[in-house]
Structure 1
Amino acid sequence: MKLLQQFSDDLEELVARATPAVVGVEHGRGHGTGLFLTPDGYVLTNRHVVRSSRRQTVTLSTGEERKATFVGGDSPTDLAVLRVEGSDYPTLPLADPKDVRMGQLVVAIGNPFRLEQSVSLGVVSAINRSLNLPDGTLLEGLLQTDAAINPGNSGGPLLNTRGQVVGLNTLVLPYAQGIGFAVSATTAAWVASLLIQRGKVERRYLGVAARAVALEPAQARDAGQPRGVLILQVQQGTPADAAGLEPEDLLLGINQRPVGSVDDVQRVMALSPHPEVVLDVLRKGRRRELSAYVFSGVKPAAA
């Protein structure tokens, strides 16, 4: 009983610390959730929450309503940033991606069906999930959770027991029970930074179909990382084709930064200030470096 009481007390304290940074987001008839990303009023939420509306109303945890302006959105990751006037807003720390593991307890906070500051408890059911949306968008690098997520939770934080944001609650499977998904905090961090700086995310197009894979123990030891990106297909006439990438190549890094998912590939290329990137590839047991001239383009579902 003492352990249960301690867990209950700790959970209560976590929620009390976190809720001031969580806001409600209203636009017309739609509603959702968001969280303060910076003390000067940048709010992170889902793109589908704000849709095409340029102005929204943000409701603070105190019940106070404030107008918010649209800074930018990114449909391929379903993320958006708003700006609320003011300063000294409470924020939540982001979790280190290497510390997010299956089976961890997580807490979702949001406004399901306009029931403000609702809290639910669950676990991280899986990581690095991919999901095709009805509009053809492919969301990658998602966290799966069984914490209760309902309409209105979208854009709210999924927290670990340290009070760190591991993901942004995004969607549920309507035909299932207790299967929800969150955009990882890693994805949210780099997309939000570009939205704040530029108002949009300009993706570099490599021209491959790929998927994340776990490395074999020997490969992981040699590479110094547990995952890589397996190249499934190389499209003709693309930067990948010109660079000499081949199907079955294992992409381990770009510009000396390790990549373990397709989202990592997009992130490193998007943040690169130069059109040329260096690919660290494992081919038939041998490491090699390939140079690719990537450019901004469409086809965000592929690398």
Structure 2
Amino acid sequence: MFPAIPAPVSPAPAPASPSVRRTAAVALAAALIGGLLASGITLVATDDAAPDSAEQAVVPEPEPLPAPAPAARTTRGEGLTQVEAVAAAVLPAVVQIELRSGDAQETQASGNGSGVIYRSDGHILTNNHVVEQADGLRVKFADGEIARAEIVGTDPLTDLAVVKVDSGDLPAIQIGDIDALRVGALAVAIGSPFGLEGSVTAGVVSALNRPISVGDGIRLPDVIQTDAPINPGNSGGALVGSDGRLIGINSAILTAGSPANAGVGFAIPANIVVRVADELISSGEVVYPLLGVSQTAAAASGEEPAGDGVVVGDVQAGGPADEGGLQPGDVITRLDDTPIGSFDDLILAIRQRDVGDTVRVTYRRQGEEQAVDVILVER
């Protein structure tokens, strides 16, 4: 239903410095994990296939999940494993989002995804790619209740969206501490893969701060990688830690030409989710700051290795960088005190600022280090 872009299957590079890992990851292409069609068929489109030539694949009967390794007992409930306790606590806060197509008088189900109750007043988190093409939305809660939903706002740059139902006193998810998250920590994914609402899978946090591309020129520069099985329909669902708190919103999977789970899934970190969701709820849109530079073609294609800085490919006329005197060929090495080793580093550093902030850009020109203060403007 939603575009899937196959990932290259070249061997993973040996872990070197963080900047090298980030640059190698620029070549990764992740598939947005869209909803299952009502007929039980999911559409898969590669980046070199026209929409009308999309391949149809019949979804097989789901295979039983392997029994998880014994987990530590928890005080949440006597005799419960950690995953069982997490599932029991979180399931009520995860919903299925049904997409409707057609006019207001006659709509029919066209697919589904997942969502997470963000606020008890009816605000629900999901992915932009889940709702962006829907004519109408319905939400199915864990207790089976169904309610109509309206889109509050969407943010394609982070693939996040907020929808709202006319309900109150809902069981909202609790937000986790991303700064305390570590590689190897328990990760539990809850959502509606293949339309099977309330499905729970478990794995670990495989990596942090992973940059990925998801098509249409969209870069997610700072996502969580997990091996918790994630499949079509999990989009917008919860990724939670061992304490049952939200660590991310499931958004994409790495694929080698198939929409099936390959053990490499990606979630948008909870700190980004909260910032974006709060802005969408308050104003219906997210405002991003702009520096006004682009990367070189070689860097964009992954051919230019990461290193100490980012080579400026182009400077937007009249933008902050242009006003500050930056030129194509300059090498940006720092933004304030943040080292810049890749364009993803630069994107992330800028997105962590606000419109109107003054930032110091340190750069090299013909081997000489220079610095300039610029004021970020609205993107």
Shorter-chain TM-score tier: 0.7 to 0.9
Q: Which amino acid is the alignment partner of residue 95 of structure 2?
A: V
| 2:133 paired with 1:52 | yes
Match of 2:145 among 64, 77, 80: 64
| 2:277 paired with 1:192 | yes
Change (3 A) 1:5 1:72: closer
Change (3 A) 1:187 1:119: same
Distance 2:86 2:374 in 1: 46
Post-superposition offset of 1:207: 1.8
Distance 1:112 1:151 in 2: 5
Distance 1:71 1:16 in 2: 29
Post-superposition offset of 1:144: 0.7
**1:207 touches 1:234 (CA, 8 Å); kept in 2?**
no
Q: Which has the larger radius of gyration?
A: 2
| 2:108 paired with 1:24 | no
| Partner deviation per Cα, 1:79-137 (whole Å, 9 max, x = no partner) | 10001112111112222221122111110000001111111111111111111223221
| 2:156 paired with 1:75 | yes
Distance 1:243 1:185 in 2: 34
SS in 2 for 1:197: helix
SS in 1 for 2:272: helix
| 2:291 paired with 1:206 | yes
Change (3 A) 1:5 1:180: closer
Match of 2:191 among 105, 110, 117: 110
**1:171 touches 1:180 (CA, 8 Å); kept in 2?**
yes
Q: 2:205 corresponds to which residue?
A: 124
Change (3 A) 1:234 1:152: same
| Partner deviation per Cα, 1:258-302 (whole Å, 9 max, x = no partner) | xx7733521422xx4xx3x22155669xx99853233223xxxxx
Describe how 1:1-303 pairs up with structure 2 within 5 A. 4=71, 6=73, 8-28=80-100, 29-53=110-134, 55-175=136-256, 177-209=262-294, 230-233=309-312, 235-236=314-315, 237=317, 238-243=319-324, 247-252=331-336, 262-269=347-354, 272=355, 275=356, 277-280=357-360, 290-297=372-379
Q: Which amino acid is the alignment partner of residue 278 of structure 1?
A: T
**2:289 touches 2:350 (CA, 8 Å); kept in 1?**
no
Q: How many percent of aligned residue pairs carry the same amino acid?
A: 36
Change (3 A) 1:101 1:172: same
Q: 2:298 corresponds to which residue?
A: none
Change (3 A) 1:157 1:289: farther
**2:331 touches 2:363 (CA, 8 Å); kept in 1?**
no
Q: Which amino acid is the alignment partner of residue 20 of structure 1?
A: P
Distance 2:174 2:370 in 1: 37
Unaligned runs of 5+ residues in structure 1 are 211-228, 255-259, 298-303
Q: Which amino acid is the alignment partner of residue 104 of structure 1?
A: A
Distance 1:183 1:261 in 2: 18
Post-superposition offset of 1:240: 2.2
Distance 2:125 2:371 in 1: 37
Q: Which amino acid is the alignment partner of residue 180 of structure 2?
A: D
Q: Which amino acid is the alignment partner of residue 291 of structure 1?
A: D
**2:289 touches 2:353 (CA, 8 Å); kept in 1?**
no
Distance 1:151 1:209 in 2: 33
**2:71 touches 2:83 (CA, 8 Å); kept in 1?**
no
Q: Does 1 or 2 have the higher relative contact order (CA < 8 Å, sep 6+)?
A: 2
**1:231 touches 1:251 (CA, 8 Å); kept in 2?**
no
Post-superposition offset of 1:187: 1.3
> What TM-score do the two structures reach when normalised by structure 1?
0.79
Post-superposition offset of 1:241: 3.5
Distance 1:291 1:282 in 2: 9
Distance 1:24 1:197 in 2: 24
Distance 2:172 2:334 in 1: 38
Distance 1:55 1:193 in 2: 23
